[in-house]
Structure formats: C-alpha cells, structure tokens
Chain A
Amino acid sequence: MGAVTTESLTRRFGDVLALDAVSVDVPAGGVVGLVGPNGSGKSTMIRMLLGLIRPTSGTARVLGEPIDGDRAYLSRVGALVESPAFVPGLSARANLLSLAQLRGLPVARVDAVLDTVGLTGRDREPVKRFSLGMKQRLGIAAALLPDPELLVLDEPTNGLDPSGIVEIRTLLGALAREGRTVVVSSHLLAEIEAVCDHLVVIRFGELVYSGPVAALLERTLGHVEVQPEHPADLQALLAALTRAGHDVEPTAEGVRVRGAGGRAAAINRDAAAAGITLAELRTVRESLEQVFLDLTGRDEAAAAQARRGGGAA
C-alpha cells in the first residue's frame, strides 16, 4: 500500500488550473520530495491531501483511506502547511499543548517533540520572540505531535540559513529511518535531493516525474572532457573522435564529447587508435538540479497563459 496515491487529482481556482489530473503513487517509508517551481501546485496538492480544500475532480488515498471520507487518517498524519502558524503571544509549550489537547494526546508528547527539534529550554518563551528557524522547528514539532506514520512538510527550509537547512535535512533523514514516510515539498531540489529516496516533480500543475531519485539520475548522461598530452594533437583528436561517431566540440584546452557519460573507455581507445595520448579524460555528469531545471524550466508567461486557457499543457 502506498502512503499517498492520487488518480487524476485536479483542482481549479476560478479560471486557474492549479493542479491538472495528477496521478502518483508514493511508496511508504523514506523521504519523498515534492518539488516544483513556486506556484506549481505543490501546496494545493498538500492541502487536498490534508482535507483543507476539496479536489475539483479526481481522487486520492492517504495511508489507504480516501480523502473524501471522514479523514480519520489525519490522526496518523502530521503536517506543516506553508509557514508555521502559531499564537504569537503564547509560549511554544502552550501552543504545542493546545494542539496536543486537540488531538487528545498526553502532555509527555509535547516534551518529546520539543526535545526532537531541539527547542527544550526555549519552550517557555513567546513564539513572537522566535527566529524564523525556530518557528520552522516548532512547526515540525507540531507536525510530530501525533507520532505520525506520514509526515507532510511544506517548504520546511523556507527562510533558513545554510546551517538550518542542513539541520532540517538531517532531521528528515532521521525521521525516515524511524520508519515514517516523510513528504517534503520544496521549490529548490538542491535543498532536499540529498535526503530524498523518491521524487514527485510538478510543473505548472502537471506531473513531470514521479519515481526513485536513482532512476532520474540515470537520465543524466553528461559529457566527457578530453585533453591531449600535446596541444598540437588537438585537431587530430577532434578529427579522430568525429570519425569514430562521437558528438564533439572544441574547448579552450581540449575536446568535449557530448552525451558520452558512460563511454570514456571507448573514447580512450579511439584516441589511442589514432596515436594520440590523452593527458585528461574526465566524465562530467549533469547535476540532478540541472535535470530538474530541464524538466521544470519553461517560459512562465506561456505557462500562465496555458493554465488560464483551460489547460496546463
């Protein structure tokens, strides 16, 4: 059973199509990255899964239960939706206590989650005195209160400094190792790719990719940078590799063989066959971030026009 399954999940706000027939099957366990540019529909999808807004059409199941039922699954789900929201004048402890009481949880859970996010000792302070990073951690603490099987965190690294981002990433990994499914959304893949096992990529309301991170990495062919031992051999090397069927282009000091991430050995053999000794043979893989940008990059104005026109395609 997947942690989250959606079938043609669609949400329209007036004439804007926020989510367009998205069908995904998110496996249970591990960290799932829900990524896409700002305004791509990530928060809309999360809000529908949490029962905050209703789909225009399509269905979804969370932890095996339909989202249009009594949503009893929410007792097993913890969530941080957009920015952390608390009563500013109340202490962190009082805010968490009120949420624990609402869920019928013991006070001990408040202490436990404060400890998990490292806010013990600051819990008596009013939330209005907290930094953004502390508020994010308090938001995660609130999400952890029900000891959830599924943790949904919407942009948890928003506004954090680099050390805060690393801290959150470490926490997410630790939570997943406890057997939970952690769905974390971000508009920056680089912030979460290190901890994700599975990715769901959304662009302007459409599903672009859903699957293991490893499968996406396999798409990154990259290129090979080649440099002859003697600069005088550069033209001969270009000619030899072209004759051998490689897609080449000259660079300042050598040759770039495009789309050849797994063919370094063949390139070396072809150069040697032409009597050229190589000083450098280096495979350069495209980063996952670049793949993400290739997947999600599109002219914003054209996309907005398409969405208003009744389709996100």
Chain B
Amino acid sequence: MLDVVRSELTRSRRRGVLGAWLGLTALFAAMIVAVIFQLAGDAAAMPAAGPGVTFPTRETLESASGLMAPLASASSMFGIVTLSFWAVLTATDHSTGLVRLLVAAEPRRWRLIAGKVGALVVWTAVATTVAVLVDLVVAPMLGATSDLDLGAWGTDVGAVVASAWLNLFLALLVWGVIGLVLAVVTRSAAVAVSVGAGWVLVVEQVLTAAFDGLRDWLPGATIGAVASGGNDVISYGSALALAAGYVIVCLTVAVVVFTRRDITD
C-alpha cells in the first residue's frame, strides 16, 4: 500500500498545482486574518457571516483561542480551495488518459483510490500547516494594532495552535474527500469544483435559510463545526461523527464507481 501512496506523491508533486494550492491557502489566510482584525474594533461593522465565512465576535477574538479564530471562521473558504485541488489532482488522471496506465498497472482499483487519498492527506496537512503559520505571523501583528485586549493570547498557546491545526486539518480532509468523489463521478475537475463551490456558497446557504432543521447536519455546517471545535448548533462530537459519516459515504461511492466503471478515457 505504501508503494501506491509513494507513487501518487511522486505524481502529484507538480510545482504549478502545489504552488497554486499552498499559495492560495496562504493568501486567503492572510486576507481573512487582515479583514477580521480590521473589523474587530468596530462591532457595528462586523457582519455575522459572509459567503464561506463566519465572523468571530470580539469576545472570541480576545479569548485564548482568539489567536487562531480566523482560521476556523474561514474554514469553508479553505475548504473550497482544498476541494478544488483534490478534484483537479483526481480528474486529471482521466482527462490525460493516465488512468489507463494506472489501472493496467494496478488492477485492484480500490488501491488506486486509497493511494490517492493517502497522498492528498499529506498535501492537505502541508496546506493546513501553511494556513496556521500565516495566521501565527499575521494575527499578532494586526492584533497589536487593534484595540482588542489580547492578554489571554499567551495562555496555553501550544494547545490552542495544535487544536486549531487538527480541527482545520480534519475539516479540510472532509472537503477534500468530497472533491475526490465529485471528480471520480464526473471525471471533470471543472464540474467537480463548480458543484462543490456552488454547494458551499449558494445551495447550502439557501437550504439552511429555508429549512432551519437542516442547519445541524448539512456538510458545510458540519465541517464548519469541526473546524471550530464545535459551536452553538452542532457539538464537536456530533460534528466529528457526522463528518466521518460523510467521508465514509463519499469514499464508498468513489470506490464503487471507480471499480465498476469501464475505463474509456
């Protein structure tokens, strides 16, 4: 199995793709931290939420976990980036015809999916680390220029950072797996990204606005709760269980579709 993961890691080590993935993650992390701390001093200007973003309260930002709060707030934005790159790195196997070589070399197709997931988990960990590092650099600089009381930030920094990293990483994994299954089913990165982004930015927003009961189990809300370590709507435990369910369903669909489908690309 390790051979399959190593093979996928070698194949996914494309400067352009990885550079774009990590670069966008860093850019979005810097942007969201800057926006949140810019607005933090003016409670009236701080919106409750935006497309793919929920804005933390002043109290949250001044708490011990306030240092990392912007990352959890923008987890859906990072999620769309992650979903996109998982989809791109999966769909291009089909669009280039590479899938023919892969399946002829490894007839146990489920192992190809497992190898792909293994490699993308590694790159997702790297992307999560980039986001956390950017936050660690930018947040204290901008926090110091605001009128926030940051006295609590020095409390248990290691645990706060580790917890934020883990929660964001788990959240991004779920987004990534959704991107993978969309790419396997549609064999198109463009369609997979459109469906994923459209869901987060439009469909789920409309559904939760129309039907209040959906708020505590739809993917976007669930993954957001994982990223923030639980929230008022979904507890951390429930969010993790639901997220695990989404991952299992997505991976099952991906494996079943990929193993049963004719390779005609």
A79 to B154, CA, bound (A): 60
Give 1 or 0 for each of A71-106: 1 = CB within 8 Å of chain B CB.
Answer: 110100101011101111110001101110111100
Contact B10 A101 (CB under 8 A): yes
Contact B14 A87 (CB under 8 A): yes
Binds A, one of B79-87, B95-103, B168-176, B232-240: B95-103
A225 to B97, CA, bound (A): 52
Contact B104 A77 (CB under 8 A): yes
Give 1 or 0 for each of B88-130: 1 = CB within 8 Å of chain A CB.
Answer: 0000100011111111111110000001000000000000000
Binds A, one of B1-9, B33-41, B44-52, B241-249: B1-9
Most B C-beta atoms less than 10 A away, residue of A74, A85, A88: A85
Contact B96 A52 (CB under 8 A): no
User: Within the complex, which residue of B6, B14, B92, B264 is in contact with A101, where a contact is CB–CB below 8 Å?
Assistant: B6
Contact A89 B14 (CB under 8 A): yes
Contact A99 B97 (CB under 8 A): no
Closest-by-CB residue of A relative to B15 is A89
Give 1 or 0 for each of A184-227: 1 = CB within 8 Å of chain B CB.
Answer: 00000000000000000000000000000000000000000000
Residues of B within 8 A of A98 (CB): 7-8, 10-11
A236 at the interface (CB under 8 A from B): no
Most A C-beta atoms less than 10 A away, residue of B4, B92, B103: B103
A94 to B7, CA, bound (A): 10
A74 to B101, CA, bound (A): 11
A312 at the interface (CB under 8 A from B): no
A83 to B133, CA, bound (A): 43
Most A C-beta atoms less than 10 A away, residue of B7, B98, B100, B102: B100
Closest-by-CB residue of B relative to A79 is B104
A104 to B4, CA, bound (A): 8
Contact B105 A99 (CB under 8 A): yes
A21 to B55, CA, bound (A): 65
B103 CB to nearest chain A CB (Å): 6
Number of residues in A with C-beta < 8 Å to the partner? 32
Contact B103 A52 (CB under 8 A): yes
A142 at the interface (CB under 8 A from B): yes
A109 at the interface (CB under 8 A from B): no
B151 at the interface (CB under 8 A from A): no
Residues of A within 8 A of B7 (CB): 98-99, 101-102
A47 to B16, CA, bound (A): 32
A54 to B16, CA, bound (A): 36
- Given the interface contacts A89-B16, A102-B102, does A74 sit within 8 Å of B10 by beta carbon? no
A88 to B101, CA, bound (A): 14
User: Within the complex, which residue of A53, A90, A99 is in contact with B263, where a contact is CB–CB below 8 Å?
Assistant: A53
A155 CB to nearest chain B CB (Å): 13
List of 5 A-B pairs having minimum Cβ-Cβ separation, nearest first: A85-B97, A101-B7, A102-B7, A71-B107, A52-B263
16 contacts between A and B (CB under 8 A): A50-B103, A51-B107, A52-B100, A52-B104, A79-B101, A81-B97, A83-B97, A85-B98, A87-B92, A89-B16, A94-B10, A94-B11, A94-B13, A101-B4, A102-B3, A102-B105
Known contacts A81-B104, A87-B98; 12 additional CB pairs below 8 A are A47-B264, A50-B104, A52-B264, A79-B101, A82-B100, A87-B11, A87-B96, A88-B96, A98-B7, A101-B4, A102-B4, A142-B101
